[in-house]
Amino acid sequence: MSPASQSARDLMRRDRAFDFSSQQRAWLQFKESMRRDRQFDFMVNVKDLELDISHGPILYIEDLNVSFDGFKAIDHLNFYVDAGELRCVIGPNGAGKTTMMDIITGKTRPDSGSVYFGQKIDLLRLSEPEIAEIGIGRKFQKPTVFEHHTVFENLELAMAGDKRVFPTLFARLSGEQRERIDEVLGIIGLGEQAQREAGALSHGQKQWLEIGMLLMQNPLLLLVDEPVAGMTHQEMDRTAELLLSLQGKHSVVVVEHDMDFVRSIARRVTVLHQGTVLAEGSMEQVQNDPRVVEVYLGE
C-alpha cells in the first residue's frame, strides 16, 4: 500500500469517527435506553429463546462497527461461524479480535451492525449473564479461576443450571451433576487435582480448568482467547488435543497468536486486520494470500 493511499484512508477513518458530536451521541444513547422493547429486560425470558441453526451458521455478525474515542476497532465486519466448527481467528495486535469477542459476549456495545446467535436470537439485546445462559461461553486471555475454591468447586460454580439467589442457596449436587463434573475433570485431565485449591495450579492447568469451567456451562459456542499463551510445548499439544476433541459437539472460535498452534488445530482460519476480515480459508490458502503476507511481514 502506498503512503498516499494510507493517509487517505486514515483521513476517511477520522471523518467517520467524528460524524457524531458528543451531544448527538448522548441523544442516541438516550433513545436507545428508551426503546420500549429494552425497557423491561427482566421480562425477556432467555429460556424461551430458541436457537435456530437450520441454515448452517450458529453465529452471524453483519456490518459491525465500533469505535473507541475515534479509533475504529471494528470496521464493517462480517463474520460467520458454522455449527460444530472449530475456527481460528488470527491477526496482528489491534486487529479487533478481542473487541469482537467483547461484542459477542455483551461486554461492549457496537455503534451499528447486527450480531445474531442462530437466525433468531439478537445478541445485542441480551445482557452478559443472559448471553452466558443461552450457551455462549468465553475463556479470557488471562486465566481467572477462583483461587480460593478447589478445582471441583470451580467446576460446580460454573455448572449450567438455575443461578438465581434462592435456588443457589438451597442447591445440592445431584448424582448426575457430580458425574458431569467428573466427566469434565477427565476431559481437561485434572481428575487428580479435583480437591486442590485452584490457586495452587500451574499456569497451564489453570487454562485447562478455565476451559473446563466453560464446558460445565454446556455452551453451544465457545470463544477461546489465546489459550496457549505462556504454555510449554507439551502443554500446547495437550491443549490442541483438548480443543480438537470439542469439535462437532461445540462450535469453537479460537483467537491465537501462535502460528504453529493454529496450524496444528485449524481447519478454517479467519485473518482480521484493522477491524475487518482480510482473508478467510484453509491455513494454506491464507498463508499464501499476498495481503496476509503483507500485513504479517510488513511491506
Partner 1 sequence: MGLIRALRGDTGGQLMLGLLLLVAVLVPVLNLLVPETSPWHLSTFTVTLLGKYLTYALLAVAVDLVWGYLGILSLGHGAFFALGGYAMGMYLMRQIGDRGVYGDPVLPDFMVFLNWKELPWFWHGFDQFWFAMLMVLLVPGLLAFVFGWLAFRSRVTGVYLSIITQALTYALMLAFFRNEMGFGGNNGLTDFKDILGFDLQADTTRVALFLASALALALGYLACRWIVTSRLGRVAVAIRDAEARTRFIGYRVDRVKLAIWTFSAMLAGVAGALYVPQVGIINPGEFAPLNSIELVVWVAVGGRATLYGAVVGAVLVNYGKTYFTGAFPEAWLFALGGLFVLVTLLLPRGIAGLFRLRLRRRTEAPAVREARA
Binding residues vs partner 1 (CB under 8 A): 105, 128-129, 132-133, 138, 140, 144, 146-149, 153, 156-158, 160, 163-166, 168-171, 213, 217
CB-nearer residue toward partner 1: 36 or 164? 164
User: Which long-range contacts (C-beta less than 8 Å, at least 24 apart) are formed by 201-205?
Assistant: 201/145, 201/151, 203/143, 203/230, 203/231, 204/231, 204/232, 204/235, 204/238, 204/239
To partner 1, the closest distance from the beta carbon of 184 in angstroms equals: 14
- Please answer whether residues 67 and 111 qualify as being in contact, where contact means their C-beta atoms are separated by less than 8 angstroms: yes
289: exposed, middle or buried (Cβ count in 10 Å: 0-12, 13-18, 19+) = middle
Q: Note the maximum CA span of the chain.
A: 67
CB-nearer residue toward partner 1: 96 or 135? 135
To partner 1, the closest distance from the beta carbon of 146 in angstroms equals: 5
CB-nearer residue toward partner 1: 140 or 296? 140
Q: How far apart are CA 68 and CA 73, in angstroms?
A: 7
To partner 1, the closest distance from the beta carbon of 200 in angstroms equals: 14
CB-nearer residue toward partner 1: 154 or 239? 154
- CA 119-268-80 angle, to 5 degrees, is 20
To partner 1, the closest distance from the beta carbon of 162 in angstroms equals: 10
- Please answer whether residues 95 and 273 qualify as being in contact, where contact means their C-beta atoms are separated by less than 8 angstroms: yes
Record the cell numbers describing residue 212, joined without a space: 473446563
- How many helices (H) and strands (E) the chain has is answered by 13, 10
CB-nearer residue toward partner 1: 201 or 266? 201
To partner 1, the closest distance from the beta carbon of 6 in angstroms equals: 38
To partner 1, the closest distance from the beta carbon of 169 in angstroms equals: 4
In our burial notation (b when 16+ CB lie closer than 10 A, e otherwise), range 111-126 reads bebebbbbeebebebb
Q: Beta strand 71-82 with 112-117: parallel, antiparallel or unpaired?
A: unpaired
To partner 1, the closest distance from the beta carbon of 197 in angstroms equals: 11
Q: How far apart are CA 223 and CA 203, in angstroms?
A: 19
CB-nearer residue toward partner 1: 132 or 224? 132
CB-nearer residue toward partner 1: 128 or 284? 128
